A and B are shown apart, each in its own frame.
Chain A
């Protein structure tokens, strides 16, 4: 495949390659400049690190083999858990601070996504954290986006454009489906099936300053998804629908926050 693609213009490719190196040099120079500038202006800013911890009823979530039992008594294993949080907003004594472009994809399988570091937060005391579970409608109509919003991350619907806000799949022997699979792809940004939800959490008093980063643990309990749900009758939700709204209402309260190094049982 590669040779077939590379054939048309070898000489051109060399030219591109050279300019590519130059750009790299140029970019690293810019980076140094940015770092220098940052260190000058950083005195009033701090860092917040959010450690995300997927759990099932308080216990660390293990994907694959471990069997869990839902509130209604359905046994299950969990295959995949992904969820967007966005529009993070810290509230405190000096008012609130909206973190720009803060859409973040949590993927239980990818530990890198379970640490979310936020720089440049104005120093001060904060005691509240608000965010969207999922993405707002503007994001959903904004075309091709990058980073955590890149459509290659398995959270974008092609057949009916828009993001999947949260995804949970697994197996349960009560599901009379192929391989006993259940699939919840919760999305939809248009009325009447708007599935984005707001979380508003009380924080233990935190002091953001330029000396030490503050670490918070954000527990996300996927057991909440199954509240009042029988997997026998509800096991395949992959479109914006009434059922999707019901699940979204269920998981609205799945997040809990604590100051770090006390959970992780």
Chain B
């Protein structure tokens, strides 16, 4: 008799516990922060609002080599956090089986403010950007269909996708949206420069840095516009044509000869660590970059009009300019554990 009663109580109790654990999960909303004085982002968050669960799923995917055909390469293989999510020491990154690309891995940050992606603007929306490296034969050499199939065979992934999207069947759309949730949150706005602008502690410029900022605003800012340090345009910056790769840049996408040799103006944030520089990674030092603009420009037909007037800087001025560029380093971003390999998946 007592046993039966005990059983009954246990039954009721377990029912209650199960009911409780079945309660639907509320996704944790994330508010996208637009730093003070910055423009509104170009990307709209209304289609699929940011959530903590979405971010974590995207983060897991970003670091998972399952996206590549042979499981050897993840997004992070070429986009290394400590260098501003680019590939340090590699002018051209290598994909699976050591296949080498033709362009320098772009640094990833503040992507929601971009309109077009890749050096030639071939990608028109951040949500579909990941398709390019996944399917490129010299990068991950995979198909989206097959990645989706692999993810659907993983119970963990199916449950994570169900949690985020309310659908336990992984689709191409949901995969891309999840990666987007992660990459649009890789935002850098806490460099010494930012603190200087916001007049915060740690933002006091040295004389060299201050002078460098003035030089920068005088000569560089029409393309590398503050606060994002890019105008999001495509420009021919007068690099001599590389005869081995013959990269025509933006013209490949628009087929318009006026776009020949134009490449996207990259952000300069975290430039101290994102070497090498230029679309083909031809320069390894910032001094080489500055010297290009003061004495290396090839004046071809569609050279950016912003470079029409030759730039003359003394050696001291060059040093000050570089000193200023170093203030764009954001260690809080480069070392933020929230963006790093997801070890603590609890």
- List the interface of chain A (C-beta within 8 A of B): 1-2, 5-6, 8-9, 12-13, 15-23, 26-27, 140-146, 149-154, 156, 158-162, 190, 193, 240-241
Contacts and interface: CB of A to CB of B under 8 A. Distances in A.
Interface stretch (B19-27, B217-225, B329-337): B19-27
B171 A159 contact: no
Best-buried of B18, B47, B255 by chain A (most CB within 10 Å)? B255
Closest 7 CB pairs of A and B: A143-B127, A16-B159, A152-B172, A144-B176, A22-B22, A143-B125, A158-B131
B173 to A, nearest CB: 4
Interface stretch (B150-158, B229-237, B310-318): B150-158
A151 B131 contact: yes
Given A23-B166, A144-B180, A2 B159 contact: no
Given A20-B168, A22-B22, A158-B136, A151 B346 contact: no
Contact of A17 (B148, B159, B166): B159
B268 interface: no
Q: State which size class the interface on B falls in.
A: 35 or more
B25 A2 contact: no
Best-buried of A5, A9, A12 by chain B (most CB within 10 Å)? A5
Given A143-B125, A143-B127, 12 more contacts: A1-B150, A1-B153, A8-B156, A9-B156, A19-B22, A23-B162, A26-B24, A144-B125, A144-B127, A151-B128, A158-B136, A241-B255
B128 A144 contact: yes
21 contacts: A1-B71, A1-B154, A2-B154, A16-B160, A17-B159, A19-B22, A19-B25, A21-B22, A22-B22, A141-B124, A143-B125, A143-B176, A144-B128, A150-B172, A152-B171, A153-B172, A158-B128, A159-B122, A159-B132, A160-B253, A190-B254
Contacts of A6: 154-156
B145 interface: yes
B134 interface: yes
Contacts, number: 122
B251 interface: no
A241 B124 CA distance: 18
Contact of A146 (B148, B160, B171): B171
B126 A143 contact: yes
A2 B153 contact: yes
Contact of A158 (B23, B64, B132, B163): B132
B243 interface: no
A18 B180 contact: no
B173 A146 contact: yes
B123 interface: yes
A241 B254 CA distance: 10
B135 interface: yes
Contact of B23 (A21, A22, A145, A240): A22
Interface in B103-162: 122-128, 131-132, 134-136, 143-145, 148, 150, 153-157, 159-160, 162
Residues of B contacting A: mostly: helix
Contacts of A26: 24
Nearest to A8: B345
A5 B152 CA distance: 11
B128 A5 contact: no
B8 to A, nearest CB: 23
Nearest to B168: A20
B177 interface: yes
B234 to A, nearest CB: 14
B22 A141 contact: no
Best-buried of A26, A149, A160, A190 by chain B (most CB within 10 Å)? A160
Contact of B128 (A15, A16, A19, A161): A161
A142 B124 CA distance: 9
A141 B155 contact: no
A230 B155 CA distance: 51
Contacts of A5: 64, 66, 154, 156-157
Contacts of A153: 172
Contact of B173 (A1, A12, A23, A151): A151
Interface in B174-221: 174, 176-177, 180
Contacts of B345: 8-9, 12
A19 B134 CA distance: 31
A152 B123 CA distance: 17
Contacts of A23: 24, 162, 166
Interface in B1-58: 18, 21-25, 47
Contacts of B125: 141-144, 161
A153 B172 CA distance: 9
A205 B6 CA distance: 72
B195 to A, nearest CB: 34
A142 B44 CA distance: 10
Nearest to B150: A1
Contact of A140 (B18, B23, B124): B124
Contacts of A240: 255
